[in-house]
């Protein structure tokens, strides 16, 4: 395992962190499926132990993951291995309980206290504003910012996190239309919250930016904030067997409503990944290596979160991350991703 200083947190952490969403298992929040099927708590806990054994120090969870189940599993790990050397990240903002809004200050403090209890700790290293919904006219934004700053001043949290848009370039805020408005709003939130770390979705399937555009990684570097990269494996879609038929999910699994898991989207994903699979094959371990290498080459000062449901999965992922592609291979991957079906053979020859 390699380690790096994460800007904003000012602490050295493992380059690969454990994303603990999936181990929360199947669940719903206000009628919306937000969980994952086929998760056995004991096997998930064995995955946490294995991650720690292999050198993972950063563990990222949220109050809403399994409605506390993920945090409690992680709390078992803390009780077994100790708090020293374990970097804990959790989130607030999607679970309202009986409050009128998840970001009502009283609800934030209630959830924070419950999170500490679940994680068996007296402080968090990183606490995220998980959602960017602060109510009409950002009604709850000032109170949420004040609550997290107070927690930081008291030493209860070390750093504040904010979720970044899935697609972002700073320059988009100066255009017209919905994209410009959404970008401008997020930049406003960033300035008001002044986060230490942002999280962003990035993987092989993420769109490319123009040379003159400032993507989230360049933006964060300029602002001296850290970046946690999530969904580096596209929630497992990058590793799927293209010959396998689409599977059915329960009403407690978020994939039952996620458009990315519908047949048309899967067919498009298979088309886009075909050049990579021709070049590297369909072995999930090899594709994991390709996918993580792509992210780590693009975002060399960031930390990548990977999900898992058992010890075997996290072992395969972390083993693949030990052997990232060299710069020539990484450049070939980018070339293949930017190549459509009509020029696959030519791209393979160049690669």
**pLDDT tens digit sequence for 130-151:** 999 999 999 999 999 999 999 9
The pLDDT of residue 339: 63
Residue 126 dihedral angles phi and psi, to the nearest 5°: -145, 130
pTM, two decimals, is 0.94
Q: Report which of 76, 57, 56 is spatially closest to residue 117, judged by C-alpha positions.
A: 76
Residue 321 dihedral angles phi and psi, to the nearest 5°: -70, -15
> For 305-346, how does the pLDDT look when each residue is reduced to its tens digit (9 = 90+)?
999 999 999 999 999 988 888 888 888 898 888 764 333 333
* Domains in the chain, CATH or no CATH each: 3-252+285-323 (3.20.20.100)
Inform me whether the pLDDT recorded for 58 exceeds 90: yes
CA pair distance 282, 70, nearest whole angstrom: 31
The DSSP bridge partners found for residue 88 are 59
**DSSP code of 209?**
-
Residues listed for the chain: 351
The pLDDT of residue 346: 36
Q: Report which of 81, 6, 18, 84 is spatially closest to residue 51, judged by C-alpha positions.
A: 18
Q: 87-92 and 197-201 as β-strands: parallel, antiparallel, unpaired? A: unpaired
Please count the CA atoms within 13 angstroms of the CA of 86 that sit on its side-chain side.
29
Please count the CA atoms within 13 angstroms of the CA of 73 that sit on its side-chain side.
31
The pLDDT of residue 341: 39
Inform me whether the pLDDT recorded for 347 exceeds 60: no
């Amino acid at each position: 395992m390699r380690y790096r200083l994460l800007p904003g947190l000012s602490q050295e952490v493992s380059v690969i962190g454990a994303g603990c969403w999936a181990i929360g298992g199947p669940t719903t929040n206000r009628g919306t499926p937000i969980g994952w099927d086929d998760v056995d708590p004991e096997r998930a806990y064995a995955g946490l132990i294995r991650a720690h054994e292999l050198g993972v120090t950063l563990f990222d969870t949220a109050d809403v993951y399994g409605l506390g189940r993920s945090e409690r599993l992680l709390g078992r790990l803390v009780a077994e291995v100790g708090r020293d050397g374990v970097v804990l990240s959790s989130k607030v903002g999607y679970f309202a309980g009986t409050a009128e809004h998840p970001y009502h200050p009283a609800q934030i403090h209630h959830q924070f206290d419950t999170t500490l209890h679940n994680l068996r700790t007296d402080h968090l290293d990183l606490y995220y504003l998980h959602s960017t919904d602060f109510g009409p006219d950002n009604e709850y934004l000032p109170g949420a910012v004040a609550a997290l700053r107070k927690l930081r001043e008291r030493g209860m949290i070390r750093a504040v996190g904010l979720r970044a848009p899935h697609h972002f370039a700073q320059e988009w805020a100066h255009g017209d239309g919905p994209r410009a408005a959404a970008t401008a709003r997020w930049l406003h939130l960033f300035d008001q919250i002044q986060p230490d770390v942002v999280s962003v979705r990035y993987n092989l399937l993420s769109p490319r930016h123009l040379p003159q555009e400032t993507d989230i990684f360049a933006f964060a570097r300029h602002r001296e904030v850290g970046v946690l990269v999530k969904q580096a494996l596209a929630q497992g879609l990058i590793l799927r067997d293209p010959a396998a038929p689409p599977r059915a999910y329960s009403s407690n699994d978020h994939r039952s409503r996620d458009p990315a898991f519908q047949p048309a989207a899967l067919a498009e994903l298979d088309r886009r990944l075909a050049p990579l699979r021709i070049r590297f094959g369909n072995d999930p371990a090899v594709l994991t290596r390709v996918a993580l290498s792509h992210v780590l080459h693009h975002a060399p000062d960031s930390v990548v979160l990977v999900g898992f449901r058992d010890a075997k999965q996290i072992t395969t992922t972390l083993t693949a991350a030990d052997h990232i592609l060299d710069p020539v291979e990484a450049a070939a991957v980018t070339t293949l991703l930017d190549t459509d079906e009509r020029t696959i053979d030519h791209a393979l020859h160049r690669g």
